[in-house]
Amino acid sequence: MIQLPRWQLQSRKASKHTPFLLITASATRSKWKRRVADSLGVEERRIAKIDLRVFGGSALTDDVDVPKRRLEPEIGHGIPVTYVPARNTIFLAYALAWAEIISASDIFLGVNAIDYSGYPDCRPEFIEAFQTLANLATKAGVEGTRFQIHTPLIKFSKAEIIRKAVELGVSLSLTHSCYDPSPEGLACGQCDSCLLRLKGFREAGLKDPIRYAKE
Ligand SMILES: [Zn+2]
């Protein structure tokens, strides 16, 4: 089953004059995204429907099977077919456009370069390069705004991310990480992303609160 990578931008104001943007991407249904946004106290949302199926070229956007039950060494080696060409470049470009419009200079992205699938657009080098671009490519940047791309999770293990989420009171029961959820929205428990998430919960000594399609 092909999942549509949909995503949303959320704006939450840290204070009256410093709005910031948070990017979330998932194949989660909109009602769940709304619940996640509500639980985070999001003030304003924009949902941009970008249909990367017109290009295909990924197990998430094309008629290609999502790899299942891969072992950890396999997941950590090479770039798998679940890589979506230039996806985070596209997400950040949209976020940057909205940031410029609402005079925000801080953009937050939840990429991770530790327990991940080797995607090039999740690495610190990419984030730094995009930040440089943001400051060169926009009117606001040229006129003195210093855009900053924040990636607070980039160097955390999955277990550390989960512990931090629990510490911050994030409703993890509203989240999933699956590349290939069931028609009812249940995570498969077998794709790389589900396996990394489950490993993270195990290492954190916690139980994943979500239901999986095959338990
Ligand atoms: Zn899955």
68 within domain boundaries: yes
- How many whole angstroms from 179 Cα to the centroid of ligand 1? 5
**pLDDT number for residue 118:** 87
The first and second tokens of residue 30, run together, are 């909109």
Structural domain includes residue 60: yes
Q: Which two tokens stand for residue 95?
A: 């976020």
Model pLDDT, residue 185: 83
Find the domain containing 90 and state its range: 6-157
Q: In the prediction, which pLDDT does 45 show?
A: 76
In a domain, 175, yes or no: no
Q: Is residue 188 a part of any domain in this protein?
A: no
The confidence score (pLDDT) of residue 49 equals 73
Specify the number of domains making up the chain. Answer: 1
What local confidence, expressed as pLDDT, does residue 141 receive? 97
Residue 180 lies in a domain: no
Which parts of the chain register pLDDT below 70? 1-34, 36-37, 40, 215
Classify residue 123: in a domain, yes or no. yes
In a domain, 163, yes or no: no
Q: What distance in angstroms lies between residue 120's CA and the mean position of ligand 1's atoms?
A: 21
> How high is the pLDDT of residue 2?
31
* Gap between the Cα atoms of 150 and 110, Å rounded: 8
pLDDT at 177: 84
What pLDDT score was predicted for residue 170? 84
pLDDT of residue 15: 42
In a domain, 14, yes or no: yes
In sequence order, the 6+-apart residues with CB closer than 8 A to the CB of 214 are 188, 189, 190
- Cα of 1 to ligand 1 centre, how many Å? 12
Alpha carbon distance 28, 55 (integer Å): 21
Instruction: Tell me how far the alpha carbon of residue 116 lies from the centroid of ligand 1, in angstroms.
Output: 14
